[in-house]
Chain A
Amino acid sequence: MEDSDSEKKMEKENLGPRMDSPLGEPEGSLGWVLPNTAMKKKVLLMGKSGSVDVEHSHVRFLGNLVLNLWDCGGQDTFMENYFTSQRDNIFRNVEVLIYVFDVESRELEKDMHYYQSCLEAILQNSPDAKIFCLVHKMDLVQEDQRDLIFKEREEDLRRLSRPLECSCFRTSIWDETLYKAWSSIVYQLIPNVQQLEMNLRNFAEIIEADEVLLFERATFLVISHYQCKEQRDAHRFEKISNIIKQFKLSCSKLAASFQSMEVRNSNFAAFIDIFTSNTYVMVVMSDPSIPSAATLINIRNARKHFEKLERVDGPKQCLLMR
């Protein structure tokens, strides 16, 4: 992905806190950034982010997005000081802000106050950033209350966020909602995702696949899928993501990484392979009469087509679309 000219002109700066910051290591803060990331766009994860599964913290995804995590569950005075002195640095070049709220928080006022400070900083430094709010730990709310409480929070947040717009998700680590939220967020960051989906559908139909999944390459989040056939397991996306991530992890312990995979039994054959520079694809076939070589050739040919799509509609297009 190429950066636009204006970004290239920006000077290198000290972005984000380093581990040896003069203010010391704040409790609960996971600030980390790559050096020389002046050209890179940031994803800020803030609020009560400590309770959110963030293995992605070390990952650059979608080519040039870097994840910065800030857990604001900690010390207040630190937050005030740090925000004031480092504020512009933190909030510059932000592509996405994800703010996590604990649904059970006893300090709603304070949470909202911090949130609004962040939004002010965003408005000043990265006004085009996309804002996502996670109303987290929904499992702690009684089931019959969840819709109501979420709607209330969502309304409050929308109101407080103006003139900026935010999308809200209700999440919990105990079901698929958090995974879906992450997927949705990443989905919205993919340049030209609708066209990608249309092409995916055509692809799936041409090769007579049962299902085709598209993963973001680093996080293995399912960002898009097309199914030609009803599938038994509604939770399969998160499961597949986890299965593959576990496998990747075990490979990395042996200083190897997997490139592609074919798994089959008498009822199915699944093919997982690198697709474009940002994605992996998984093709599921249930017709045993189709030889695997045919499917592999189809994937290879489709790859060329999808690469072209990704190149043509790169970040320039994305900026224009805003």
Chain B
Amino acid sequence: SSSPAGETGIGLRGDPTPRRPGQRTEERVLDFSDPFSAGVKPRIVLLALRRSGKPSIQKAVFHRMSPSETLFLESTDKICRGEVSNGSFVSFQIWDFPGQIDFFDPAFDYEMIFRGTGALIFVIDSQDGYVEALARLLLTVTRAYKVNSDISFEVFIHKVDGLSGDHKIETQRDSHQRANDDLADAGLEKIHLSFYLTSMYDHSIFEAFSKVVQKLIPQLPTLENLLNIFISNSGIEKAFLFDVVSKIYIATDSTPVDMQTYELYVVIDISWIYGLKEDGAGTPYDKESAAIIKLNNTTVLYLKEVTKFLALVCFVREEIFERKGLIEYNFHCFWKAICEVFEVGMKVVKSRKVQNQLQKKKGATPNGTPRVLL
């Protein structure tokens, strides 16, 4: 069992600088109301029906994050909203609400949120029975689709650790069938739903999140390609690009993933204790962040910072790792390429923003010529 010191907050996370009220960070400038920010950061909304008063999905994903990384927004007395955006490559908004409540409460501007959303994840608790949840799902999906037909709809059938193997498959098949039938009845066959079986007790929940996030990254094929080139030229067995905050990998090479994820928290946790400057300045994860972990099965785990959100994690055989210089050189090439890829993305977004602003301005230009869209 883990030390209770961790539960009271004294434990693993150190003392992250609390967010000051009204503090805006670079990321918060790009909030959900900005439709173009979706091009920069994958945005995900999680909807979870809460049973027995305890938000579970939030815990699953975010229980290891520090207060400065997660923000629990003001909630109504029933609905609980949380957001992860600061320091993360992926932007999550989590809505956790009791079964009875009317989801479409006028207190929240759903339309604005759906417009800026890339993926909507609906979380169903498999242990509660899913028929009622599917009805809510249909309602939600219909409304969201009307606002934004580009949203990808994902359904997590959660807490499947309590089910047997056959039961799991049956549950997934049955709920998928029912949902599709309901959509067909409503004349909405064109809406596509993806179903995932998830559990907090293995890595299936993170695997599912990875798949969802990967759908939202337009640069994914390029990233995968770069990873393939990098590993084949360096003798590396497997490489992932991880979002450091959410611990979800956004890209990997083409070799099969066998769900072996080592706890990478160790790197960040140790960095919290020793990695800040004397006055407490700096962040635990910075440009020079790196780790080499030697395992007794002759595998070496190699972590290197790529961007302030992303880390490259590789698995290398011990004897190959002796050629560390080669790997580091190749990593440098890889890193430059990744930066270019994301720069292109930023440029596209910026130019779109400029266009949008121009569009909004009414009237002619100072010299009388009409405004022209680029």
Q: Are B293 and A258 within 8 A (Cβ)? A: yes
Q: Are B299 and A240 within 8 A (Cβ)? A: no
Q: Which residues of B contact A53 (CB under 8 A)?
A: 1, 3-4
A228 at the interface (CB under 8 A from B): no
* Choice from A179, A210, A243, A264 contacting B266 with Cβ under 8 Å: A243
* Choice from B260, B266, B290 contacting A254 with Cβ under 8 Å: B260
Given contacts A251-B295, A254-B260, A257-B295, contact A243 B282 (CB under 8 A): no
A175 at the interface (CB under 8 A from B): yes
Q: Are A265 and B297 within 8 A (Cβ)? A: no
Q: Which residues of B contact A284 (CB under 8 A)?
A: 274
A4 at the interface (CB under 8 A from B): no
* Choice from A179, A242, A256, A262 contacting B292 with Cβ under 8 Å: A262
Determine how close the nearest CB of chain B comes to the CB of A55; give it in whole angstroms.
Answer: 7
Q: Are A173 and B4 within 8 A (Cβ)? A: yes
Q: Are B273 and A256 within 8 A (Cβ)? A: no
Q: Which residues of B contact A55 (CB under 8 A)?
A: 1
Given contacts A173-B4, A175-B10, A284-B274, contact A264 B290 (CB under 8 A): yes
* Choice from A235, A238, A243 contacting B270 with Cβ under 8 Å: A243
In the bound assembly, the distance between CA atoms of A115 and B373 in angstroms comes to 87
Q: Are B296 and A263 within 8 A (Cβ)? A: no
Q: Are B292 and A261 within 8 A (Cβ)? A: yes
B358 at the interface (CB under 8 A from A): no
Fill in one digit per residue for A188-232: 1 if any B CB lies within 8 Å of its CB, else 0: 000000000000000000000010000000000000000000101
In the bound assembly, the distance between CA atoms of A74 and B276 in angstroms comes to 48
In the bound assembly, the distance between CA atoms of A288 and B288 in angstroms comes to 10
Q: Are A246 and B10 within 8 A (Cβ)? A: no
- Residue of A whose beta carbon sits closest to that of B279: A232
In the bound assembly, the distance between CA atoms of A288 and B275 in angstroms comes to 12
In the bound assembly, the distance between CA atoms of A55 and B275 in angstroms comes to 29
* Choice from B2, B267, B296 contacting A246 with Cβ under 8 Å: B2
Q: Are A176 and B5 within 8 A (Cβ)? A: yes
Given contacts A175-B5, A238-B3, A246-B266, contact A262 B273 (CB under 8 A): no
Q: Are B3 and A242 within 8 A (Cβ)? A: yes
* Choice from A175, A243, A268 contacting B269 with Cβ under 8 Å: A243
Q: Are A233 and B14 within 8 A (Cβ)? A: yes
Q: Which residues of A contact B4 (CB under 8 A)?
A: 53, 173-174
Q: Which residues of A contact B277 (CB under 8 A)?
A: 267
Number of interface residues of A (CB under 8 A): 42
A105 at the interface (CB under 8 A from B): no
Q: Are A266 and B286 within 8 A (Cβ)? A: yes
Interface residues of chain B: helix, strand, loop or mixed (majority)? loop
* Choice from B1, B278, B288, B295 contacting A265 with Cβ under 8 Å: B288
B53 at the interface (CB under 8 A from A): no
B263 at the interface (CB under 8 A from A): yes
In the bound assembly, the distance between CA atoms of A251 and B294 in angstroms comes to 11
Fill in one digit per residue for B277-320: 1 if any A CB lies within 8 Å of its CB, else 0: 11010101111111111111101000000000000000000000
* Choice from A210, A233, A250, A263 contacting B263 with Cβ under 8 Å: A250
Q: Are A266 and B295 within 8 A (Cβ)? A: no
B162 at the interface (CB under 8 A from A): no
B94 at the interface (CB under 8 A from A): no
Q: Which residues of A contact B11 (CB under 8 A)?
A: 238-239, 242
In the bound assembly, the distance between CA atoms of A262 and B2 in angstroms comes to 24
Determine how close the nearest CB of chain A comes to the CB of B317; give it in whole angstroms.
Answer: 13
* Choice from A250, A255, A262, A264 contacting B288 with Cβ under 8 Å: A264
Q: Are A246 and B14 within 8 A (Cβ)? A: no
B52 at the interface (CB under 8 A from A): no
Q: Are A265 and B275 within 8 A (Cβ)? A: yes
Given contacts A175-B5, A175-B10, contact A240 B270 (CB under 8 A): yes
Q: Which residues of A contact B266 (CB under 8 A)?
A: 243-244, 246-247, 261, 263
Q: Which residues of A contact B285 (CB under 8 A)?
A: 265
A259 at the interface (CB under 8 A from B): yes
In the bound assembly, the distance between CA atoms of A240 and B266 in angstroms comes to 9
In the bound assembly, the distance between CA atoms of A244 and B262 in angstroms comes to 13
Q: Which residues of B contact A230 (CB under 8 A)?
A: 278
B32 at the interface (CB under 8 A from A): no
Q: Which residues of B contact A270 (CB under 8 A)?
A: 270, 274
- Residue of B whose beta carbon sits closest to that of A250: B263
Determine how close the nearest CB of chain A comes to the CB of B305; give it in whole angstroms.
Answer: 8
B241 at the interface (CB under 8 A from A): no
Q: Which of A243, A255, A259, A284 neighbours the largest number of chain B CB atoms within 10 Å of its CB?
A: A243
Determine how close the nearest CB of chain B comes to the CB of A48; give it in whole angstroms.
Answer: 17
Q: Which residues of B contact A254 (CB under 8 A)?
A: 260, 262
Q: Which residues of B contact A173 (CB under 8 A)?
A: 3-5
In the bound assembly, the distance between CA atoms of A238 and B11 in angstroms comes to 8
A12 at the interface (CB under 8 A from B): no
- Residue of B whose beta carbon sits closest to that of A264: B290
Q: Which residues of B contact A176 (CB under 8 A)?
A: 5
- Residue of A whose beta carbon sits closest to that of B14: A233
Q: What 12 new A-B contacts, CB under 8 Å, besides A260-B293, A264-B288, A265-B285?
A: A173-B3, A174-B8, A238-B11, A239-B273, A244-B266, A250-B263, A261-B292, A261-B293, A263-B290, A267-B275, A267-B282, A268-B271
List residues of chain B with CB under 8 Å of any chain A CB. 1-6, 8, 10-12, 14-15, 260, 262-263, 265-267, 269-271, 273-278, 280, 282, 284-297, 299
A-B contact pairs, 6 of them (CB 8 A): A255-B297, A256-B297, A261-B266, A265-B284, A265-B285, A266-B282
